[in-house]
Amino acid sequence: MKLGIIGFGNMGSAIISGILEKKVIKKEKIFVFDVDKEKIKDIPANVVENNKEIVENSDLIIIAVKPKDAENVLCEIKNYLNSEKILISIMAGIKIKRIEEIINKKIPIIRTMPNLNVKVKSGIIVYCSNKYGKKYEDIVKKIFAPCGIVLKMPENKFDTITAISGSGPGFLFYIAEEFKKICIEKGISSKILKDLISYLFYGTGKMLVDTKIEPGKLKEMVSSPGGTTIAGLSIFEKRKFGDILREVIDAAEKRSKELSSN
């Protein structure tokens, strides 16, 4: 199978990197186009001149452009699409129904939502498909597997997932940033600060992934009666951190719905 990708930003480049690293598809069968020639000048794949060439040369087409460019790109390629082509969208907020309206063809469409962590091969990739795309879902899982964990979700849950897995890294980076500020205020050496914060989050995430133990149980393991963790957690409870986090997720979910409806 030959793969084409339109758009070579953070997500597009991460996906191709994972595919090539794991040799899911040979570089000779990968075709790439981006309006910014600098982004694609050194990639080990076939660089083509326009989006039309992507569709003509590929069986599987990934559209990885910004949502604002979605309609222009889809209108540009729709006359070259047919039922033998599989269209994969990673355009945030663009629903399958909208893609179908623009291209006005009965073709396989699979909508995906990768998060930023695909850049380090530890991303979350959520997907759903139209009725023509269901039989191709295993291909999509194979394509995205090198970039992280691939999960199927109904499209009506995409706004919630966007708020959690899509925006979630930003929320955790915010907390990491606050940890850094506190460390600086308390005189922690800048020589160890970066590793201290990075491994705090890396090790905690690895505990969740590797042990498969529920977060609440892991919390108990580090919370000795009368100890330092209990003292700190009591502030979370007192200030109702759970309610704050719920408000954060609700705000992100609401914005995702607004963007999708527009």
Q: How confident is the model at residue 40 (pLDDT cuts 50, 70, 90)?
A: confident
Say if residue 260's pLDDT is above 90.
no
Which pLDDT belongs to residue 37? 86
Which pLDDT belongs to residue 259? 86
Which pLDDT belongs to residue 181? 96
Query: Which pLDDT tens digit goes with each residue over 1-36?
Result: 999 999 998 899 999 999 999 999 999 999 999 999
Distance CA 66, CA 69 (A): 5
User: For all residues of the chain together, what is the average pLDDT?
Assistant: 95
Instruction: List the one residue out of 172, 157, 154 whose CA is nearest residue 248.
Output: 172
Query: Which pLDDT tens digit goes with each residue over 91-105?
Result: 988 999 999 999 999
Domain 3-155 bears CATH identifier 3.30.930.10: no
**Residues in Cβ contact with 140 at an 8 Å cutoff, skipping those fewer than 6 apart:** 88, 110, 112, 127, 129, 150
For the chain, give the percent of residues with pLDDT over 70. Answer: 100
Q: What is the DSSP secondary structure assignment for residue 9, as one 8-state letter?
A: S
Instruction: List the one residue out of 119, 117, 136 whose CA is nearest residue 62.
Output: 136
Which pLDDT belongs to residue 43? 87
On whether the CB atoms of residues 16 and 5 are closer than 8 A, the answer is yes
Query: Which pLDDT tens digit goes with each residue over 45-78?
Result: 999 999 999 999 999 999 999 999 999 999 999 9
Q: How confident is the model at residue 248 (pLDDT cuts 50, 70, 90)?
A: very high
Tokens of 95: 């629903």
Model pTM?
0.92
When pLDDT is averaged across residues 135-155 and rounded to a whole number, the result is 96
Say if residue 262's pLDDT is above 80.
no
Pseudo-torsion of CA 147, 151, 154, 160, nearest 10°?
Answer: -70
Tell me, which fold does domain 166-261 have in CATH? ProC C-terminal domain-like fold (1.10.3730)
Tell me if 3-155 shares its fold with 166-261.
no
Domain boundaries, the chain: 3-155, 166-261
For the chain, give the percent of residues with pLDDT over 90. Answer: 92
